[in-house]
Amino acid sequence: MRVAWFQKLPVTVRVPLVVAGLMVALGVVASQGVLAVLGSVQDARLRELTRLHVEGLSVALGPFVLRQDVWEVYDLLDRAQKAGDGQRLLLTLVSDTQGRVLAATDPRRAPVGSDIARFMVDATAPEAVRMTGDAVLRVLAPLLYQGRDVGRIVTELDVSDLLDERRHIALWLLIGNAAATALLGLAGWLVVSRLLRPLGILVQAMGGETGVPHAIPESRIPRADPGLTRLFETYNAMTAAAEARAEAERRLAARERFVSLGRLSSSLAHEINNPLGGLMNAADTILSYPDRSDVVRQSAGLIQRGLAHMRDVSRAILDHNRLDRSEQPLRSEDFEDLRLLFGPEAAARGQTLDWRIAADAEALGRHPAAPVRQVVLNLLLNAGVAAGKSGQVALDVGSDAHGLHLRVCDSGPGMAADDLARLMASGPLPPGGGVGLRLVHDMVERLGGSISHQRTADMTVIVVFLPPGRETDA
């Protein structure tokens, strides 16, 4: 979750940010390295100073410490402090082996004969001296003379100037590295952004704001880079091929629709032509026997029934092809219209049609009418072709708490592999054949549903599941 916002940024922004971040990290590491080297140099200077100081005092004070000659010890300490770095050596004191102070450069702080123990607190050996952040460092060393341990030497060093030097250098390092890092980060951002600009063009062409891929204009192809030129030209070729395939699928879909309408029209022509013959006979009968009321009533009833049948057939055709039905809810009347549309084709083949609508009005009303009608009609038309002469076709519509179930069965020999691929898969269409089954697949997918296929001993079963409440642009 913490890096989700970063992952949502375009790659043309993320890469320069990463480069700038690496440069900042490099500046921090370089500053730490410089400060570490400075600390090592300062520590080495302090250790060398304390070593020379302690060794010189040991050689000069050894005989006087053995004789407990306090005045000579004090005189040597005073001359050593004046001759050496007096500003850094704050205090130097010498004690005997029992820890009693013999002399000190500041007798008021360390009187003769006092205990040296309080000056040994936090004291380190000369070879272990290092900067700790304190302004005063205390060094403790044995006083050796001719290989014998004759006392102790304690020295206090003022290192405040070294601390100021370190802080001053650290401040300038911070300012200098910040400025250099900012400049290098900006330069890296500009360079990487320029290098990734072709990638940004490609990303925009692949989707952009509309989400639809489009070809890259010739003027935006980087001809200076042969590799990128080939990449852009290959992408344009793929885009053109995808557009051509989509256009071919649209044409096939339109052709399939016209073919389906043609087949339905030829079947429905019989449904209209047969009642027309009866209507003409009834009209002739009325004209021939206008004075016989029973014959007129019988003929008028025949005319009324024929006209009602023709009205139902024409209404079903109009409802199926009406363009403004996409927002209307599904009703049981929609399936009755489909029965009127498909019934003549099934009757022409001598097929048995089993029709069962078990879903109630509330369950049907959760789904749009137009795409569901189109899905069922396409499946019925394919089932009718597959069942052949004297075959069986069935439609079973049911519902449960999860959604609507549309079950279409036929007694045909089963679906071919290409037809099954059109219905079940989303890949390119296999060569040959129509796209009615692919239309079913696309519509069900837009409705958020699923399709399953089963083949029993003598029946092919297609089950379409549609969850409720899914909008569609079908």
In a domain, 258, yes or no: no
- Name the nearest CA neighbour of 406 among 336, 467, 327: 467
- Domain boundary pick from 182, 210, 240: 182
pLDDT for the residue numbered 465: 94
403 located within any domain: yes
- CA proximity to 341, closest of 283, 381, 306, 308: 381
Determine the pLDDT at residue 409: 94
Please give the Cα distance from 111 to 105 (Å, whole number): 10
pLDDT at residue number 147? 79
Give the pair of three-digit tokens for residue 111: 């009187």
**End residue of a domain, out of 182, 197, 228:** 182
Per-residue pLDDT of the chain (474 residues), as tens digits, is 455 666 667 666 677 777 777 777 777 787 778 778 877 887 888 788 888 878 788 878 888 887 888 888 888 887 877 765 556 778 888 888 888 888 888 888 888 888 888 888 888 888 888 888 788 888 888 888 777 888 888 888 888 888 888 888 878 877 877 787 778 777 777 777 777 777 777 777 776 555 677 787 877 777 777 777 888 888 888 888 878 877 777 776 666 666 666 656 655 565 566 566 667 767 777 787 788 888 777 778 777 766 776 676 666 666 555 544 456 788 888 888 788 777 777 888 899 999 999 988 888 888 888 788 888 888 888 898 889 899 999 999 999 888 999 999 999 998 888 888 888 877 666 555 544 677 788 888 888 899 999 988 789 999 999 998 654 444
Give a yes or no: residue 269 inside a domain.
no
AA letter at 463: V
Q: Does residue 434 form part of some domain?
A: yes
Query: Would you state the pLDDT for residue 1?
Result: 45
Note whether residue 275 is domain-resident: no
What's the 3-state SS for the chain?
Answer: CCCHHHHHCCHHHHHHHHHHHHHHHHHHHHHHHHHHHHHHHHHHHHHHHHHHHHHHHHHHHHHHHHCCCHHHHHHHHHHHHHHCCCCCEEEEEEECCCCEEEEECCCCCCCCCCECHHHCCCCECHHHCCCCCCCEEEEEEEEEECCEEEEEEEEEEECHHHHHHHHHHHHHHHHHHHHHHHHHHHHHHHHHHHHCHHHHHHHHHHCCCCCCCCCCCHHHCCCCCHHHHHHHHHHHHHHHHHHHHHHHHHHHHHHHHHHHHHHHHHHHHHHHHHHHHHHHHHHHHHHHCCCCHHHHHHHHHHHHHHHHHHHHHHHHHHHHHCHHHCCCECCHHHHHHHHHHHHHHHHHCCCEEEEEECCCHHHHCCCEHHHHHHHHHHHHHHHHHHHCCCCEEEEEEEECCCCEEEEEEECCCCCCHHHHHHHHCCCCCCCCCCCHHHHHHHHHHHCCCEEEEEECCCCEEEEEEECCCCCCCC
Give the CATH number for residue 91: 3.30.450.20
CATH no. for residue 335?
A: 3.30.565.10
Prediction pTM value:
0.42
Whole-angstrom distance, CA of residue 456 vs CA of residue 447: 28
pLDDT of residue 44: 85
Give the pLDDT score at 195. 74
> Which of the listed residues 182, 197, 213 is the one where a domain comes to its end?
182
The CA distance from 192 to 13, in Å, is: 9
Pairing, β 392-399 against β 352-357: parallel
Contact 300, 345 (CB under 8 A): no
How many C-alpha atoms does 97 have within 13 Å on its Cβ side? 8
Question: What is the model's pLDDT at position 208?
Answer: 58
Domain contains 297 = no
pLDDT at 270: 54
> Rounded to an integer, what distance in angstroms lies between the CA atom of residue 338 and that of residue 303?
24
What's the confidence (pLDDT) of residue 313? 65
In a domain, 268, yes or no: no
Position 255 scores a pLDDT of: 67
Residue range(s) defining the domain that contains residue 425:
324-474
Look at residue 315 in the predicted model and tell me its pLDDT: 65
Q: Does residue 26 lie within any of the structural domains?
A: yes
Q: Based on the structure, what is the number of domains in the chain?
A: 2
